[in-house]
Chains A and B, each alone.
Chain A
Amino acid sequence: MKVSKKVLGAAIGALLAGTVSAYADTIKVGIIGPFSGPFALQGKNFQAGVEAYMALNGKSVKGHDIEVIYRDLPTANPAQSRALAQELVVKDKVQYLGGVYFTPDAMAITPLLKQANVPLVIFNAATSAIMTQSPLVVRTSFTTAQTTSPLGKIAVDRGVKKVISAVSDYGPGVDAEAAFKKAFESAGGQVVEAIRMPLNTNDFSPIMQRIRDSGAEAVFAFLPSGPTTLGFVKAYNETGLKQAGIKFFAPGDLTQESDLPALGDGALGLLTTFHYAVSHDSPENKKFVEAATKAIGGADQLSFPSVGAYDGMHVIYKMIEATDGKQDAQKAVDAVKGLSWTSPRGPVSIDAETRHITENIYLREVAKGADGKTYNKEIQTFPNQKDPGLATQ
């Protein structure tokens, strides 16, 4: 017994020593996202993006192996987000943090970064202010203001002078309302009324009635993707607003690809602006969609968070390359400032000043493909859009 214990000890010792020398070169990346619960599909998209990137670009950079550790944060919970980030840094010794679906969760992590000497690459959380919280944050997704602003000009170009806005009553909804109002009014339009709808609204008929009563020529809507979106679009069709010629404008969260089958033909003709459509026509996107579909297990589940994660991994790879595996957060972040590359969504770059992604925003119309399924068809491009929310600060 004693002998075996000794042997065991020696074995473990050797193993540990072996680990240190052989795996000294393993760089760990911690990814926080909603992998279970109501937002699990978005988390799955994070994972699909990461796995697609690693499948296409290899699992090592300059001889440093890369290991990804996923941590589940089912719903927005800043305290838990912070605890998970802390655990990843202290216990798992990750050199890079990535992911984060909700803004409050990202906000809760930012104070840790400097002390931990770890950069955070945000794959989704879309409120402008996150970038001002820490110089060690880089974002590869989008902001609500960024995707919404081009709509102001589009609406005016299409002969709409009076718009009523209807947004969900929470941070991003209020952001969307403000961004649209600013862009639309500077293009010469007028927002006649602004409705804020509670997040848990199920029956939108009264809202539609109010939209009709307001006398606006179009409605600007923002709701988080999910069941509410469906109810809203349905109510828009069924209460006769569509027939009455009231136009519909929204950022792309409303017609994300994974919701389109549920929306069905009712979504046809809806105009949205967004940074990525799964249908984007480019060789890079083709490769990406193929790899990501394989990772997620079904084409109809693929949606925009996957591309944020894919490009987030690209940024992390570049950071590892620049620091040659050493842990130096500031150097890593500095290395990707101004970095530009061709993403599946089109040409993008990291703005050197704000560390937020500069990208094309596309106007899309929901159309029917040859296979009878609806998709977001890109019909107009607004190149090199920065985040207007950050530009004004």
Chain B
Amino acid sequence: MQTILSIAIDAFAYGMALFIICIGLSLTMGLMRVVNLAHGAFAMIAGYIASYAARDLGLGYAVAIFLAIIGTVIISIPLERLLYRRIYGSPELTQVLMTIGITFCIIGITNYFFGPTLKTIPLPGSLSQPVDVGIRTIAGHRLFVMACGLVVAGGLWYLIEKTDFGIKLRATVDNAAMADALGVRTQVIYAISFAIAIGLAALGGVVGAEFLPIEPYYALRYMVTFLVVVSVGGAGSIPGAVVACLLLGAIDTTGRYLMPEFGNFFFYAAVVAIVCVFPRGFFGRAQ
């Protein structure tokens, strides 16, 4: 029983880290209909910035997270204007080719500036201590990641379902021309949602760095994992992404505890099974 509980804690922490990174991708794919394979690359940029800020400049963890999010969003703005705007509504193949190209460019440029070695983001003392949660000790930052995940999920749900902006966003997604005619500035809506998605990728890249370490090939190494989460959960669905992350995190973590030699077998077997039963993911919308 204790083992099961302790696996559950690990699974929850891992799932939440995945969620923070993937939810942005889910939004771009589901709401904006852009297959953004460069999503992980933005998480990577954020990781590099945070690592540079915390390790080389000696700034605090919170400041590093803030700088990473702001920096990544600033970097993404010209990309959105010059590159992404051209592929809204394009065929998926064009989007895939364009964004994978962007990924490789980002990898090359970050390696040129920050070097090819592994980067870490030093945690503040309070987060790096093991915390005794009763049944076992768990790293403090894991609790922090879980909290971040819950806040992000709640915040996004509120933003999309309850606010003015959310209404406009949903309207734009369903019928851009009509929304435009009604006075919604669709270009602005797209730009803002893109910035939010990138900001979330950045946040996830930094707080998730303990699970998915920041290294030169980050963007490619985890690309499939991120896509899998989105397809299992259903693109654009926040509850879907939460469920997918928790479920896949649980399967992966349990498999790794009980039968590590099977590798990712259970993870992908589960994905295959889920996609067979739910072709659009758990909460995917019919198109």
A196 & B261 in contact (Cβ 8 Å cutoff)? yes
Residues of chain A having any CB pair with chain B under 8 Å:
38, 40-41, 169, 195-203, 205-207, 209-210, 213, 226-227, 230-231, 234, 237-240, 243, 258-259, 261-264, 300-301
- Kindly state whether residue B117 has any CB partner on chain A within 8 Å: yes
Structural contact, B138 and A239, CB atoms closer than 8 A: yes
CB nearest to A242 among chain B residues? B130
Could you list 12 further interchain pairs (A-B, Cβ under 8 angstroms) beyond the known A38-B217, A197-B256, A240-B130? A41-B117, A195-B260, A196-B261, A198-B260, A201-B256, A205-B253, A206-B10, A207-B256, A226-B118, A243-B130, A259-B117, A261-B117
Size of B's binding interface in residues, CB under 8 A: 39
Interface code B256-273, partner A: CB below 8 Å = 1, 0 otherwise? 110011111000000000
Decide: B264 and A238 in contact? CB cutoff 8 A.
no
The reply to whether B260 and A203 contact each other, CB–CB distance below 8 Å, is no
Please state if B120 and A262 are interface contacts (CB–CB under 8 Å): yes
- Closest chain-A Cβ to B61's Cβ sits at a distance in Å of 14
Contact A209 B213 (CB under 8 A): no
A interface SS class: helix
Give the shortest distance, in Å, between A159 (CB) and chain B (any CB).
24
Contacts of B106 in A (CB 8 A): none
Alpha-carbon gap, A227 to B221, bound state (A): 11
Tell whether B90 is near chain A: CB-to-CB under 8 Å.
no
Contacts of B187 in A (CB 8 A): none
Contact B213 A169 (CB under 8 A): no
Q: Does B163 contact A (CB under 8 A)?
A: no
* Given contacts A38-B216, A203-B10, A227 and B256 within 8 Å (CB-CB): no
Residues of A with C-beta under 8 A to B263:
169, 198-200
From the candidates A40, A209, A264, name the one contacting B122 in the complex (CB within 8 A).
Answer: A264
Assess A213 versus B3: contact at CB under 8 Å? Given A198-B263, A206-B257, A231-B213: yes
Chain A residues with Cβ under 8 A from B3's Cβ?
209, 213
Smallest distance from the beta carbon of A70 to chain B beta carbons, Å? Answer: 17
When distances are taken between beta carbons in the complex, the residues of chain B under 8 Å from A258 are 117
Give me the 9 closest cross-chain CB pairs, A-B, nearest first. Answer: A238-B139, A198-B263, A206-B257, A240-B137, A227-B213, A205-B10, A262-B118, A206-B256, A227-B215
Does B261 lie within 8 Å of A203, measured CB to CB? no
- Closest-CB distance, B262 to chain A (whole angstroms): 8
User: Which A-chain residue is minimally distant from B256 (CB atoms)?
Assistant: A206
Cα-based distance from A118 to B75 in the complex (angstroms): 51
Q: How far is the CA of A213 from the CA of B17 in the complex (A)?
A: 25
Residues 79-137 (chain B) with a chain A CB within 8 angstroms: 115-120, 122, 128, 130, 136-137
Q: Considering only CB atoms, which chain A residue lies closest to B249 in the complex?
A: A203
Name the CB-closest residue of A to B10. Answer: A205
Sample 14 A-B pairs with CB under 8 A, ordered by A number: A198-B256, A198-B264, A201-B256, A202-B211, A202-B212, A206-B7, A207-B257, A226-B118, A231-B213, A239-B136, A239-B138, A243-B137, A259-B118, A264-B122
CA distance A334 to B212 in the complex (A): 49
The 0/1 profile, CB within 8 Å of A marked 1, for residues 186-216 of chain B is: 0000000000000000000000001111011
| B interface, CB within 8 angstroms of A | 3, 6-7, 10, 13-14, 115-120, 122, 128, 130, 136-139, 141-142, 210-213, 215-217, 221, 252-254, 256-257, 260-264
A196, B260: Cβ atoms closer than 8 Å: yes
* Interchain CA distance A353-B262 in the complex, whole Å: 40
Selected from A196, A230, A261, the residue in CB contact (under 8 A) with B213 is: A230
Name the CB-closest residue of B to A209.
B6
Give every chain A residue within 8 A of B130 (Cβ-Cβ). 237-240, 243
Give the complex CA separation of A264 and B122 in angstroms.
Answer: 9
Contact of A41 among B6, B116, B210, B264 (CB under 8 A): B116
Interface pair B120/A264, CB less than 8 Å apart: yes
Report how far A231 CA is from B213 CA in the complex, Å.
7
Question: Within the assembled complex, what's the spacing in Å between the Cα atoms of A169 and B221?
Answer: 18
Contact present for A230 and B118 (CB under 8 Å): yes
Cβ of B213 and Cβ of A203 under 8 Å apart?
Answer: no
A285 → chain B closest CB, angstroms: 22
Residue of A195, A203, A301 ringed by the most chain B CB atoms within 10 A: A203
Enumerate chain B residues within 8 angstroms of A231, measured Cβ to Cβ: 210-211, 213
